Structure 1
Amino acid sequence: MVKKILLLGNRKLYEKSELIQKDEINYIKEVVGDLHETLIDFRKKHKVGRAIAAPQIGVPKRLIYMYINEPIVFINPTLEFEDEETIEVIDDCMSFPEILVKVDRYKRCTIKYRDINWDKCEMKLEDDLSELIQHEYDHLDGILATMRAKDNKSLFLKSEIKIN
Protein backbone atom coordinates (compact mmCIF):
# COMPACT_ATOMS: atom_id res chain seq x y z
CA MET A 1 0.00 0.00 0.00
CA VAL A 2 1.25 3.51 -0.80
CA LYS A 3 2.13 5.18 2.49
CA LYS A 4 2.47 8.84 3.37
CA ILE A 5 6.12 9.90 3.38
CA LEU A 6 7.04 11.76 6.55
CA LEU A 7 8.26 15.28 5.78
CA LEU A 8 11.07 17.44 7.12
CA GLY A 9 10.22 18.53 10.65
CA ASN A 10 8.33 15.36 11.60
CA ARG A 11 9.88 14.23 14.89
CA LYS A 12 9.76 10.56 13.90
CA LEU A 13 12.41 11.22 11.22
CA TYR A 14 14.94 12.09 13.94
CA GLU A 15 14.58 8.87 15.93
CA LYS A 16 17.02 5.95 15.78
CA SER A 17 15.47 2.81 14.32
CA GLU A 18 15.32 -0.59 16.00
CA LEU A 19 17.01 -3.77 14.84
CA ILE A 20 14.75 -6.26 13.09
CA GLN A 21 14.40 -9.69 14.69
CA LYS A 22 14.14 -12.84 12.59
CA ASP A 23 10.64 -13.57 13.91
CA GLU A 24 9.45 -10.24 12.43
CA ILE A 25 10.21 -11.27 8.84
CA ASN A 26 6.55 -11.67 7.79
CA TYR A 27 5.79 -8.15 9.03
CA ILE A 28 8.94 -6.88 7.29
CA LYS A 29 7.79 -8.44 4.01
CA GLU A 30 4.59 -6.37 4.31
CA VAL A 31 6.64 -3.23 5.00
CA VAL A 32 8.83 -3.98 1.95
CA GLY A 33 5.67 -4.12 -0.16
CA ASP A 34 4.63 -0.73 1.22
CA LEU A 35 8.11 0.70 0.58
CA HIS A 36 8.01 -0.56 -3.01
CA GLU A 37 4.59 0.91 -3.75
CA THR A 38 5.47 4.19 -2.05
CA LEU A 39 8.73 4.48 -4.00
CA ILE A 40 7.01 3.77 -7.34
CA ASP A 41 4.26 6.28 -6.54
CA PHE A 42 6.88 8.93 -5.65
CA ARG A 43 8.71 8.25 -8.95
CA LYS A 44 5.53 8.77 -10.92
CA LYS A 45 4.88 12.11 -9.23
CA HIS A 46 8.43 13.50 -9.01
CA LYS A 47 10.41 11.60 -11.70
CA VAL A 48 13.11 10.70 -9.12
CA GLY A 49 13.57 8.11 -6.38
CA ARG A 50 15.95 5.18 -6.16
CA ALA A 51 15.61 4.07 -2.54
CA ILE A 52 13.61 4.63 0.63
CA ALA A 53 14.16 3.81 4.30
CA ALA A 54 11.42 2.42 6.55
CA PRO A 55 11.51 5.41 8.95
CA GLN A 56 10.35 7.63 6.07
CA ILE A 57 6.97 5.88 6.17
CA GLY A 58 6.83 5.87 9.97
CA VAL A 59 8.25 2.37 10.54
CA PRO A 60 11.15 2.69 13.01
CA LYS A 61 13.00 -0.40 11.81
CA ARG A 62 16.49 -0.79 10.30
CA LEU A 63 15.25 -1.49 6.77
CA ILE A 64 16.20 0.05 3.41
CA TYR A 65 14.55 -0.70 0.07
CA MET A 66 16.46 0.15 -3.10
CA TYR A 67 15.06 -0.29 -6.60
CA ILE A 68 17.24 0.69 -9.51
CA ASN A 69 17.44 -2.24 -11.93
CA GLU A 70 16.03 -4.73 -9.46
CA PRO A 71 14.73 -4.57 -5.90
CA ILE A 72 17.22 -5.01 -3.07
CA VAL A 73 16.17 -5.26 0.57
CA PHE A 74 18.70 -4.32 3.26
CA ILE A 75 17.77 -5.61 6.71
CA ASN A 76 19.86 -4.43 9.70
CA PRO A 77 22.57 -2.98 7.47
CA THR A 78 25.97 -1.85 8.69
CA LEU A 79 28.35 0.36 6.72
CA GLU A 80 32.13 0.25 6.47
CA PHE A 81 34.36 2.74 4.70
CA GLU A 82 37.57 1.51 3.11
CA ASP A 83 39.28 4.88 2.98
CA GLU A 84 38.74 8.57 3.66
CA GLU A 85 38.11 9.67 0.04
CA THR A 86 34.93 11.70 -0.28
CA ILE A 87 32.83 13.16 -3.05
CA GLU A 88 30.72 16.28 -2.97
CA VAL A 89 27.13 15.66 -4.02
CA ILE A 90 23.89 17.55 -4.31
CA ASP A 91 21.52 15.40 -2.28
CA ASP A 92 17.75 15.25 -2.48
CA CYS A 93 15.25 13.37 -0.35
CA MET A 94 11.67 12.17 -0.51
CA SER A 95 11.13 13.74 2.91
CA PHE A 96 11.90 17.21 1.50
CA PRO A 97 11.22 16.92 -2.24
CA GLU A 98 11.72 20.62 -3.03
CA ILE A 99 15.10 21.00 -1.30
CA LEU A 100 18.60 20.11 -2.44
CA VAL A 101 21.55 19.87 -0.04
CA LYS A 102 25.27 19.98 -0.80
CA VAL A 103 27.01 17.29 1.28
CA ASP A 104 30.21 15.26 1.35
CA ARG A 105 29.89 11.47 1.26
CA TYR A 106 32.42 8.67 1.18
CA LYS A 107 33.27 7.64 -2.36
CA ARG A 108 33.29 3.92 -1.51
CA CYS A 109 31.61 1.78 1.10
CA THR A 110 30.75 -1.79 1.95
CA ILE A 111 27.29 -2.59 3.25
CA LYS A 112 26.66 -5.77 5.21
CA TYR A 113 23.06 -6.81 5.74
CA ARG A 114 20.50 -9.57 5.76
CA ASP A 115 18.22 -10.04 2.78
CA ILE A 116 14.52 -10.88 2.83
CA ASN A 117 15.40 -14.59 3.26
CA TRP A 118 17.50 -13.68 6.33
CA ASP A 119 20.71 -14.62 4.48
CA LYS A 120 23.84 -12.62 5.26
CA CYS A 121 24.96 -10.48 2.33
CA GLU A 122 27.65 -7.97 1.52
CA MET A 123 27.91 -5.42 -1.29
CA LYS A 124 30.62 -2.98 -2.28
CA LEU A 125 29.36 0.33 -3.64
CA GLU A 126 31.05 3.32 -5.28
CA ASP A 127 30.19 6.84 -6.34
CA ASP A 128 26.44 7.50 -6.68
CA LEU A 129 25.40 4.16 -5.15
CA SER A 130 27.75 4.69 -2.21
CA GLU A 131 26.24 8.14 -1.71
CA LEU A 132 22.70 6.74 -2.00
CA ILE A 133 23.15 4.00 0.56
CA GLN A 134 24.81 6.42 3.01
CA HIS A 135 21.83 8.77 2.64
CA GLU A 136 19.35 5.96 3.35
CA TYR A 137 21.47 4.54 6.17
CA ASP A 138 21.45 7.96 7.84
CA HIS A 139 17.63 7.75 7.98
CA LEU A 140 18.00 4.65 10.17
CA ASP A 141 19.92 6.74 12.69
CA GLY A 142 17.56 9.72 12.57
CA ILE A 143 19.97 11.82 10.48
CA LEU A 144 18.72 13.86 7.51
CA ALA A 145 20.85 15.24 4.69
CA THR A 146 19.99 18.75 5.90
CA MET A 147 21.96 17.93 9.05
CA ARG A 148 25.01 17.08 6.92
CA ALA A 149 24.99 20.25 4.82
CA LYS A 150 28.54 21.44 4.08
CA ASP A 151 27.80 24.90 5.41
CA ASN A 152 24.94 27.36 5.88
CA LYS A 153 24.89 28.15 2.13
CA SER A 154 24.46 24.54 1.01
CA LEU A 155 20.66 24.35 0.95
CA PHE A 156 18.77 25.14 -2.24
CA LEU A 157 15.21 25.13 -3.54
CA LYS A 158 14.98 23.04 -6.72
CA SER A 159 13.00 25.81 -8.38
CA GLU A 160 15.81 28.33 -7.76
CA ILE A 161 18.89 26.46 -8.92
CA LYS A 162 20.17 24.79 -12.04
CA ILE A 163 22.53 21.87 -11.41
CA ASN A 164 24.96 21.02 -14.22
Structure 2
Amino acid sequence: MIQPILQLGNPQLYEQSEEVTKEEWAELASLERDLHDTMMEYRRVHHAGRAIAAPQIGVKKRVLYMNVGEPILLVNPRMEFPDLEKMEVMDDCMSFPGLLVRVERYRRCRIHYWDRNGEECVLELEGDLSELLQHEYDHLDGILATMRALDEKSFYVAGNF
Protein backbone atom coordinates (compact mmCIF):
# COMPACT_ATOMS: atom_id res chain seq x y z
CA MET A 1 0.00 0.00 0.00
CA ILE A 2 1.26 3.50 -0.82
CA GLN A 3 2.45 5.23 2.35
CA PRO A 4 3.15 8.93 2.92
CA ILE A 5 6.85 9.78 2.66
CA LEU A 6 8.12 11.75 5.65
CA GLN A 7 9.41 15.14 4.54
CA LEU A 8 12.47 17.18 5.47
CA GLY A 9 12.00 18.63 8.96
CA ASN A 10 9.99 15.70 10.29
CA PRO A 11 11.77 14.71 13.53
CA GLN A 12 11.23 11.00 12.84
CA LEU A 13 13.70 11.20 9.92
CA TYR A 14 16.51 11.96 12.38
CA GLU A 15 15.98 8.89 14.58
CA GLN A 16 18.14 5.76 14.64
CA SER A 17 16.47 2.61 13.27
CA GLU A 18 16.48 -0.76 14.99
CA GLU A 19 17.40 -4.13 13.54
CA VAL A 20 14.68 -6.49 12.40
CA THR A 21 14.36 -9.35 14.90
CA LYS A 22 13.52 -12.96 14.05
CA GLU A 23 10.08 -12.44 15.55
CA GLU A 24 9.44 -9.57 13.13
CA TRP A 25 10.60 -11.42 10.01
CA ALA A 26 7.04 -12.41 9.01
CA GLU A 27 6.12 -8.70 8.75
CA LEU A 28 8.77 -8.06 6.07
CA ALA A 29 6.53 -9.07 3.14
CA SER A 30 4.03 -6.36 4.04
CA LEU A 31 6.78 -3.79 4.58
CA GLU A 32 8.38 -4.69 1.25
CA ARG A 33 5.02 -4.20 -0.54
CA ASP A 34 4.59 -0.81 1.12
CA LEU A 35 8.11 0.28 0.18
CA HIS A 36 7.65 -0.94 -3.39
CA ASP A 37 4.24 0.68 -3.84
CA THR A 38 5.38 3.96 -2.28
CA MET A 39 8.53 4.14 -4.40
CA MET A 40 6.67 3.28 -7.61
CA GLU A 41 4.10 5.99 -6.91
CA TYR A 42 6.91 8.49 -6.30
CA ARG A 43 8.53 7.33 -9.54
CA ARG A 44 5.24 7.78 -11.40
CA VAL A 45 4.75 11.31 -10.09
CA HIS A 46 8.36 12.58 -10.05
CA HIS A 47 10.02 10.37 -12.72
CA ALA A 48 12.74 9.49 -10.21
CA GLY A 49 13.31 7.01 -7.40
CA ARG A 50 15.46 3.89 -7.34
CA ALA A 51 15.50 3.05 -3.64
CA ILE A 52 13.78 3.87 -0.37
CA ALA A 53 14.50 3.28 3.31
CA ALA A 54 11.88 2.07 5.79
CA PRO A 55 12.33 5.17 8.02
CA GLN A 56 11.11 7.34 5.14
CA ILE A 57 7.66 5.82 5.58
CA GLY A 58 7.84 6.00 9.37
CA VAL A 59 9.05 2.43 10.01
CA LYS A 60 12.08 2.56 12.32
CA LYS A 61 13.62 -0.67 11.07
CA ARG A 62 16.93 -1.28 9.29
CA VAL A 63 15.38 -2.18 5.95
CA LEU A 64 16.17 -0.83 2.48
CA TYR A 65 14.35 -1.51 -0.78
CA MET A 66 16.00 -0.98 -4.15
CA ASN A 67 14.60 -1.53 -7.63
CA VAL A 68 16.96 -0.84 -10.51
CA GLY A 69 15.72 -3.61 -12.77
CA GLU A 70 14.88 -6.16 -10.12
CA PRO A 71 13.58 -5.64 -6.58
CA ILE A 72 16.04 -6.20 -3.74
CA LEU A 73 15.14 -6.09 -0.06
CA LEU A 74 18.11 -5.46 2.23
CA VAL A 75 17.46 -6.39 5.85
CA ASN A 76 19.80 -5.32 8.66
CA PRO A 77 22.48 -4.12 6.21
CA ARG A 78 26.05 -3.38 7.23
CA MET A 79 28.17 -1.19 4.98
CA GLU A 80 31.92 -1.05 4.53
CA PHE A 81 34.23 0.71 2.13
CA PRO A 82 37.02 -1.23 0.40
CA ASP A 83 39.07 1.93 -0.23
CA LEU A 84 39.04 5.63 0.51
CA GLU A 85 38.38 6.95 -3.03
CA LYS A 86 35.54 9.45 -3.00
CA MET A 87 33.43 11.31 -5.53
CA GLU A 88 31.36 14.46 -5.45
CA VAL A 89 27.69 14.04 -6.40
CA MET A 90 24.42 15.94 -6.47
CA ASP A 91 22.17 14.07 -4.07
CA ASP A 92 18.38 14.15 -4.15
CA CYS A 93 15.83 12.51 -1.89
CA MET A 94 12.18 11.50 -1.82
CA SER A 95 11.99 13.32 1.51
CA PHE A 96 12.85 16.65 -0.14
CA PRO A 97 11.78 16.53 -3.80
CA GLY A 98 13.13 19.34 -5.93
CA LEU A 99 16.16 19.99 -3.70
CA LEU A 100 19.64 18.84 -4.68
CA VAL A 101 22.58 18.72 -2.27
CA ARG A 102 26.23 18.54 -3.26
CA VAL A 103 27.86 15.84 -1.13
CA GLU A 104 30.90 13.60 -1.12
CA ARG A 105 30.46 9.83 -1.12
CA TYR A 106 32.74 6.81 -1.39
CA ARG A 107 33.13 5.59 -4.97
CA ARG A 108 32.82 1.95 -3.89
CA CYS A 109 31.00 0.18 -1.10
CA ARG A 110 30.29 -3.34 0.05
CA ILE A 111 27.01 -4.03 1.78
CA HIS A 112 26.28 -7.18 3.79
CA TYR A 113 22.59 -7.93 4.36
CA TRP A 114 19.93 -10.59 4.66
CA ASP A 115 17.46 -10.95 1.81
CA ARG A 116 13.70 -11.49 2.10
CA ASN A 117 14.30 -15.26 2.50
CA GLY A 118 16.79 -14.85 5.35
CA GLU A 119 19.80 -15.65 3.18
CA GLU A 120 23.00 -13.75 3.91
CA CYS A 121 24.14 -11.72 0.87
CA VAL A 122 26.81 -9.26 -0.16
CA LEU A 123 26.62 -6.53 -2.81
CA GLU A 124 29.72 -4.81 -4.18
CA LEU A 125 28.73 -1.50 -5.73
CA GLU A 126 30.52 1.29 -7.55
CA GLY A 127 29.61 4.74 -8.82
CA ASP A 128 25.98 5.79 -8.79
CA LEU A 129 24.70 2.59 -7.13
CA SER A 130 27.32 2.93 -4.40
CA GLU A 131 26.17 6.51 -3.84
CA LEU A 132 22.52 5.42 -3.87
CA LEU A 133 22.93 2.82 -1.14
CA GLN A 134 25.13 5.10 0.98
CA HIS A 135 22.30 7.64 0.83
CA GLU A 136 19.66 5.07 1.81
CA TYR A 137 21.89 3.55 4.50
CA ASP A 138 22.27 7.01 6.06
CA HIS A 139 18.48 7.11 6.52
CA LEU A 140 18.78 4.09 8.85
CA ASP A 141 21.01 6.18 11.12
CA GLY A 142 18.86 9.32 10.96
CA ILE A 143 21.25 11.12 8.61
CA LEU A 144 19.93 13.13 5.67
CA ALA A 145 21.93 14.32 2.66
CA THR A 146 21.35 17.89 3.88
CA MET A 147 23.54 17.01 6.86
CA ARG A 148 26.35 15.90 4.53
CA ALA A 149 26.40 19.02 2.36
CA LEU A 150 29.93 20.04 1.39
CA ASP A 151 29.27 23.59 2.58
CA GLU A 152 26.48 26.11 3.08
CA LYS A 153 26.40 26.84 -0.69
CA SER A 154 25.81 23.21 -1.69
CA PHE A 155 22.02 23.39 -2.00
CA TYR A 156 20.22 23.73 -5.34
CA VAL A 157 16.64 23.83 -6.51
CA ALA A 158 16.30 21.23 -9.28
CA GLY A 159 16.73 22.84 -12.68
CA ASN A 160 18.62 25.85 -11.27
CA PHE A 161 22.23 24.73 -11.38
- TM-score, normalised via structure 2 length: 0.99
Please give the root-mean-square deviation of Cα atoms over the aligned residues, in Å. Answer: 0.6
Q: Is the 8 A contact 1:114 1:121 kept in 2?
A: yes
Equivalent residue pairs, number: 161
Say which SS state the counterpart of residue 95 (structure 1) adopts: coil
Once the two structures are superposed, what CA deviation does each residue of 1:82-131 show, in whole Å capped at 9, x if it has no partner? Answer: 11100100000000001000000000010000000111100100000000
Structure 1's consecutive aligned runs of 4 or more residues displaced over 3 angstroms after TM superposition are: none
Q: CA deviation at 1:22?
A: 1.7
Please state if 1:57 is matched with 2:74: no
Q: Is the 8 A contact 1:18 1:60 kept in 2?
A: yes
What is the match of residue 88 of structure 2? 88
Say which SS state the counterpart of residue 7 (structure 1) adopts: coil
Amino acid at match of 2:2: V
Please state if 1:105 is matched with 2:132: no
Q: Is the 8 A contact 1:5 1:95 kept in 2?
A: yes
Say which SS state the counterpart of residue 64 (structure 1) adopts: strand
Unmatched runs of 5 consecutive residues or more in structure 1? none
Once the two structures are superposed, what CA deviation does each residue of 1:58-99 show, in whole Å capped at 9, x if it has no partner? Answer: 000000000010000000000010111001000000000010
Q: CA deviation at 1:159?
A: 4.0
Please state if 1:140 is matched with 2:135: no
Amino acid at match of 1:86: K
Q: Is the 8 A contact 1:18 1:62 kept in 2?
A: yes
Say which SS state the counterpart of residue 160 (structure 1) adopts: coil
Amino acid at match of 1:49: G
- TM-score, normalised via structure 1 length: 0.97
Amino acid at match of 1:104: E
What is the match of residue 11 of structure 2? 11
Amino acid at match of 1:54: A
Q: CA deviation at 1:160?
A: 2.3
What is the match of residue 24 of structure 1? 24
The separation in 2 between residues aligned to 1:126 and 1:98, in whole angstroms, is 25
The separation in 2 between residues aligned to 1:104 and 1:55, in whole angstroms, is 22
